[in-house]
Amino acid sequence: MLDGGASAASGLEKSLLDWYRRYQRPLPWRGEHDPYRILLAEVLLQQTRVAQAIPYYHRFLERFPTLEALGRAPLEEVLRVWQGCGYYTRARNLHRLARQTSALPPTYAGLRELPGLGPYTAAAVASIAFGEAVAAVDGNVRRVLSRLHAWEDPSPKRLQQSAQGLLEGALGYGSPGEWNQALMELGATVCTPRRPACSRCPLERFCRGKGQPERYPLPKSRRPKPIELTALILGGPMGVYLEPRSGGVLGGLWGVPMEEGPGGLERLLKRFGLEEARFVGRLRHDFTHRRLQVWVYQAPWARVEDPRRRPLSRLDQKILSLLDTA
C-alpha cells in the first residue's frame, strides 16, 4: 500500500483508468473479445514493437482467422506467414497450442498448461478475454511499479504482489483487463525507459521515484555473446540450395548452409565436395543475447530452388541479399 492508505490507493487507480480511457492508442486489438486474437496480439508484443506488430497481426489473422485454422495448417506455412517478425519460437508454440486445443481455457491456471504461455501471457489473456482478476506483469509494468515504489531491484514475487493489490483495488472502477492494459499503456507511452514524461503522468503525485525515475529499476546488463559464422550460398540469383534449420531459435525455418567457428569455410567446402568459393561479403546480425559476424561465400550448384518458396529467417534474407550487391 502506498502512503496515504486506501484513499490514496483508490485515487491512484481512478486516475490511471481515467487517463487510459482518454489517451489509449487506437490499436487493432483494443476492445477485442476473441481470446485467440487477444492471445495473438500478446504473443506478438512480447518481442516486437507495436508499429511492427500491427501488420503481422493483420497478416496472420488473414491467413489463420481462427485457432482451428491455425491448427490445421502445416508448420512451414505458419513460419512463412510469420517470416520477418523474428523470435520464431513464438510461432512454433502458437502452432503447437492450436494443434492441442481448438478453444482456449477460460482461466489463468488452464492457460498456463498450454505450450509457450508463461505467467504474463496467461494473465493477460485471462484478464482481457475472460475477466479473471489476475495481474499481468510485463517489462512495462515492472518499470512503472519500480518507479512508483522507488524499488531498484524488486523480485518477481514482490512485483506480482504489488500489481495484484492494485488490480483488486481498481475493480470498482474498471475490469481486470482494462486495468492491466492501462498499466502497460502507461509504461509504453509515458513511463518509458529513457526520458519518461513525468509531467504528463496521471500517477505523478503518487510516485516515489519521480525525482530520479531512470534510477528505477536498475538496468540489467546484457552483453551479447559474439559468434563467428561462415555461410555458403550454393547457386545464384535464379535459385539457391536451402536446408532446414534446427534448434530453438531458427528451428522449422530454412536457410543456406552455415558453420560456426574457425575453419567454417573448409568444412563447408568438404561437405559439398567443392574446392573453392568466392567471398561475397560480411554482415552483422544481432539476436537478443548473441551478436553474429557472418562471412558469406558463394559457389555454383545444380540443385537449387526459389528461396521465396520457403520460410526464411531475417538472417538468411540478409545473407541472400548480398548476391544483389556482389
Question: For residue 118, which phi and psi values (nearest 5 degrees)?
Answer: -85, -175
Contact in structure between 295 and 229 (CB atoms under 8 Å) = yes
CA distance 124 to 171: 16
**C-alpha cell at position 98:** 492450436
Contact in structure between 206 and 140 (CB atoms under 8 Å) = no
CA distance 124 to 41: 10
**C-alpha cell at position 233:** 550460398
Catalytic option among 13, 32, 42, 62: 42
HSE of 28, CA atoms in CB hemisphere, 13 A = 17
List of E strands, the chain: 225-236, 239-240, 243-244, 254-255, 258-260, 278-286, 290-299
Active-site residue, 13 included: no
Please list the active-site residues: 42
